[in-house]
Structure 1
Amino acid sequence: MIEPMIRYEIERFRRDRPYTMPANHFHDHYEIYYLLSGKRYYFIQDRSYFIQEGDLVFIDRNKLHKTLDADIAAHERILVSFNDRWLHDLSQPSKELALAAFRDKQRIFSLKGANRMFAENVLFTLLREQQHKQIGWELSSQALLTQLLVFCTRLIDSQEATDEQPQASHPKIFEIVAYINEHYQTRLSLATISDKFHISPSYFCRSFKVTTGFSFVEYLNSVRVREAQRLLRETKMKVIDIAEQAGFESVAHFGRVFKQVTSQTPMACRKMTRV
């Protein structure tokens, strides 16, 4: 099986203008997002979180996610990305412990005082290792990242992680998102959703976009394509059967949407997972 292109990356970036992440954003690697300054909304899977400076966000593999502007557009963040290959030297029990923050329902850590100083020191050291790439920088980075992951696992164990509080401005939208995640295999349309949840189509479209950062169609297609990717990787099902099981009305429509979301065909995706 061909490994994903990314093994490990870290970057620091500042924006002074409004910015929303591109649509259809999910991938087969882990991400740690640290907000150095500013305020953001972070939509992950089926909830939206309000994050501020000092917040550390964990995004598991293949989770739909997107950052959106809050009341202040200017912000600065550090983003760490890595896949399982980067932690290949760890035993399975150690890897499960290190990745606990991605599995736990509390994805946000609001760091203060000594905890914030520790996390920032690790992240800034990781940035320097990436920048200078002196001898042994990969080994040093693996050790530092593992240290950060264990640190957050201990925060979970000590119940110091932030309580999971989704953005509450449009509670019905989160109800609809959960419904889409559960019923994506069925025929879903703007009309059927509006009728089922007693909400006008125009209000639903506006509220869904504001709350999640996705349009209704973008989100639905992303959920369906993500499931199709899983089936392509993990089963030997025919593409036509995968298209149907993922909720697409035809294999032709499936192929068009799949390529639009992933920039590759379903067969190319399947070949990447084969020896």
Structure 2
Amino acid sequence: MEKGKHMVMQFHSLLNRDEDIFVNRIAESFETPQHSHDFIEINYVAEGRGFHYIDEELIAAEKGDVFVLPVGTAHVFRPTAVSPKEPIVIYNCVFQPHTLADWAEAIPMPMRIFEYLSPAKGGAPAAWMKTTDRSGDFHLLFTGMYAEYIRKADGYRTMLCGKLLELLGILDRRLFGTEETRWQDPLFEEILNIIHMRCGESQFTIGELTESLNVTSGYVQRMFRRYFGVTFLAYLQNARIERSCRLLRETSFKVAYIAELCGYQDLKFFYRIFKRKTGSTPHQYRLKHRRS
């Protein structure tokens, strides 16, 4: 793909004139040409793996990767093969720079990401950036934005604006923060990343984790005792309950479905452990913390 040999996508071609934010979900193929655009785009790899061509770079892309593409960045995602066993599925959130400028006049903005995405007129365009979803926050935000955009229920534009601001705040911390926790053992940081990505899988166990990373269960247990003072299972349960709390606050999903999304097949067990860790039932928690 030669530089300059790409189409330019226009923001107004994607959505209605009264909308400021566009969100979609797509399984990538070889049909989409490399393209640039007159808007800002944030990509989240929701499933699978493949490749991301950005300008003249080729970057491996897999589940959990987040790409921030300023105006003018030429890119395209590709699966690993014409008919891959594991297709690469992407969420895209796009908006224009003037949207951020309009917001900055009325509400506090995460300034480092705002300045990065809104370069001075005539200045050099910003370079693309990448991070990884270590906590599951990006997954919840993108699935929530997509649901709002597709359903278009009353107040969906307000909900989209709120979720985009939260997304920008997390990106500001992740990409520009100087106090991000860094573990002494990089392998243990990878273990934490995997747990937060897969804690919603009911069959996820310490055995599967250790086998995939070629480490012993003793090592994993020692690391959790060292850094958190708990066992692997206790940390996994906490991660699952934290995810369920967020879903109770931010969605209208039924409690049984939330339990399933958080790795619990036994609803009675979910109720019992949720009450033990939060002091209330899921229904009580939702009523107390539901966002207006």
Which structure has the higher relative contact order (CA within 8 Å, separation 6+)? 1
TM-score for the superposition, normalised by structure 2:
0.46
TM score, norm. by length of structure 1 = 0.48
